[in-house]
Each structure stands twice: as structure tokens, then as C-alpha cells.
Amino acid sequence: MSLIRLSGVDIIKDSNLILSEIDLTLDKGDFAYLVGRVGTGKTSLVKALIGEFPVTKGEASVAGFDLIKLKKKQVPYLRRKIGVVFQDFQLLQDRSAYDNLAFVLRSTGWKNKKEIRQRIEMALDSVGMLHKKHKMPFQLSGGEQQRVAIARAILNNPEIILADEPTGNLDSDTQQEIMQLFMEIHDKQQPAMIVVTHNLNLLQRYPGRIFKCEAGKCSEVENRQEIDFFGFMES
């Protein structure tokens, strides 16, 4: 059974049709990029996959949940199976790296303090941030904040990881470090992973399937040569 399966799907935002007739299927261990110019619906698709934007028409299944029939009370359970990484990190600024992760675990039902500590330290260690677990976000560089955000995303061993422009606010060397970290996580845990990006270098260095949003549609690019790379990189 596919972890993500969209067939003939429409995505609506504020009563406006953002994307239509989407066909996208990812199985465990699949790695894919989502590309397209600014405003073509990439982030809207990510938000639809986590139950934030309504999905209408067609068939839509994510981690065993039917998005067409998804009820509000089911959304937290869906999101436990998905790790999301954002461009701007979205860490809580009033608490340490450790406490950012503790907040997530407690919010998803963890109660045993020893198990919480072990899980957080394991996640931070896997992204090279255990030694800075007591640092506040403002005390960390952009790359370090993104590492903490990645640790947060993998806390509950998600079946799916969605990364929305995860290297967009980072310098070129840090971009490569963060992308290499994603690839290590993918190799070890084998989630279905989608990375939204404008970065041509990443697509060339870390090959994967490519889905392109354009003119209200989103479909897989079978031939990489068909992509207008410099076109989709325009901001």
C-alpha cells in the first residue's frame, strides 16, 4: 500500500482552486522533489498532505488516512505519522532545543520522562546537536536551527517526511550539509520523502523523482531534460 496516493485530486484554499487533477504516488523509501515557480501551489500541496488544506475530488490517501473524508479530530493522528521541516525552522523561541522537542513529544502523547529524554537525546545526536541541547534558538546558527528542526521532525519515526524549502535560508555549504543529513535519514529509516526546492544543485547532486507544479497542475516529470530548470528557479 502506498504511503501517499493522490489520484485526480483538487486542492482548495479559501474557496479558490489551487491545484487540480493531481496524480502523485509515493511508497516507503521513495525520494522525490517538488519543484515549480513561486505561487504554483507547492506549499499548498504540502499543507494538503498534512490535513491543513481541504482536498476535494478524486482519491487521496496519506499514511492510511483518507484525506477526502478526514475529520478535524483525526488530523493530530495523521500528523504523528508525518515529519515536517520548514524553511524558517519554526522553532519555539522561548525554549531550548531540548524543550522544543519535549513539547512535541508531550503533545503527541508521550508521558514517561525517562523515555522522553532518551528519545530526544537520540534524535538530537542523530543530527549532531546533542551537545547544544540546552541552547536557545537565537544562540544557534541557521544550519543548527534546521538540524534541531529535523530532529523534531523525526522524533516519532515518521513514515513520511515533508521538507518545504529546507535549505532556502542557508548558505551553499550549509545547504549541502543539511541535504546530506536528509539523505542519511532517508537511507537509514526509509520514509517516503518529499523535498520542495528551487535549488538546481540539489537536484543534480542528489537525484530523485521529480514532480512539477505548473499552471494549476502537478505531475511527475518522466524526463529530467524536460524541466526548464532556470524557469522554475525564478522567484
Note the pTM of the prediction, 2 decimals.
0.90
Half-sphere exposure of 86 (CA within 13 A, CB side): 7
Q: If residue 235 lies in a helix (H) or strand (E), which one and from where to where? A: none
Handedness of CA 63, 66, 68, 69 (dihedral sign): negative
Cα–Cα distances in Å, from 149 out to 12, 153, 161, 163, 165? 28, 6, 12, 10, 13
Find, among 18, 78, 90, the residue nearest to 54 by Cα: 18
| In the chain, where the domains are located | 92-157
pLDDT in tens, the chain (235 residues): 689 999 999 998 888 889 999 999 999 999 999 998 888 899 999 999 999 988 888 899 999 999 999 999 999 889 889 999 988 889 999 999 999 999 999 988 888 999 999 999 999 999 999 999 999 999 999 999 999 999 999 998 999 999 999 988 888 889 999 999 999 999 999 999 999 998 888 888 898 999 999 999 988 987 665 555 545 444 3
37, amino acid identity: R
**Distance between CA 182 and CA 167 in Å, rounded?**
11
- Phi/psi for 66 (5° steps) reads -85, 110
